[in-house]
């Protein structure tokens, strides 16, 4: 009798191990019928309502874009282009982008940055293209350009540091 009890216990343990392996390797029960793309996107913390957004504390959140067979694919969203603000100014100082593209301004300097459209101090060249506040090293300001043209911009706290965005 002792031998049969050991055999039963052994079979139960083996069954539990097999069930555990099957459950661990099984895909989720509700598999969507659409394709999902995930990418990290920086979500800005907005300080004032503008067309662009201001970010003082970087926070990364996953962005999910679902494409199903019932929704026509329009095409990929234009890539975000980065401009670094350094102690010598904006790099690159001139940039050509497509309409609808977003430019990310990263403060990589030892001083403050406040990106705003020209002319200084009114910022009326491209209404809404104004960070609205001073941010420091490591902070990001993003703005999506939805108007064709050549747009000058500057650091509002050091107006001699300028750049140009050409939107085609």
Class of domain 35-69+78-167: mainly beta
Of 152, 98, 149, 153, which Cα lies nearest the Cα of 131?
A: 153
Roughly how many angstroms between the first and final C-alpha of the chain, as a whole number? 86
How far apart are the C-alpha atoms of 39 and 54, rounded to whole Å? 21
Does the model's pTM come out above 0.85?
no
pLDDT tens series, the chain, 168 aa? 567 777 777 777 776 766 766 666 655 554 444 333 333 334 344 444 444 444 444 443 444 444 444 444 455 666 899 999 999 999 999 999 999 999 999 999 999 999 999 999 999 999 999 999 999 999 999 999 999 999 999 999 999 999 999 999
């Amino acid at each position: 009798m002792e031998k049969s009890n050991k055999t039963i216990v052994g079979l139960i343990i083996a069954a539990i191990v097999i069930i555990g392996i099957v459950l661990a390797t099984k895909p989720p029960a509700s598999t969507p019928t659409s394709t999902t793309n995930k990418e990290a996107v920086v979500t800005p913390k907005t300080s004032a309502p503008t067309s662009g957004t201001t970010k003082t504390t970087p926070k990364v959140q996953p962005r999910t874009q679902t494409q199903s067979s019932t929704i026509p694919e329009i095409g990929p969203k234009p890539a975000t282009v980065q401009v670094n603000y350094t102690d010598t100014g904006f790099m690159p100082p001139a940039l050509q982008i497509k309409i609808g593209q977003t430019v990310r301004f990263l403060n990589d300097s030892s001083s403050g940055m406040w990106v705003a459209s020209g002319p200084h101090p009114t910022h009326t060249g491209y209404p809404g293209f104004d960070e609205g506040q001073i941010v420091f090293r490591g902070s990001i300001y993003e703005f999506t350009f939805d108007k064709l043209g050549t747009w000058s911009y500057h650091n509002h706290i050091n107006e001699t540091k300028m750049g140009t965005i050409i939107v085609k």
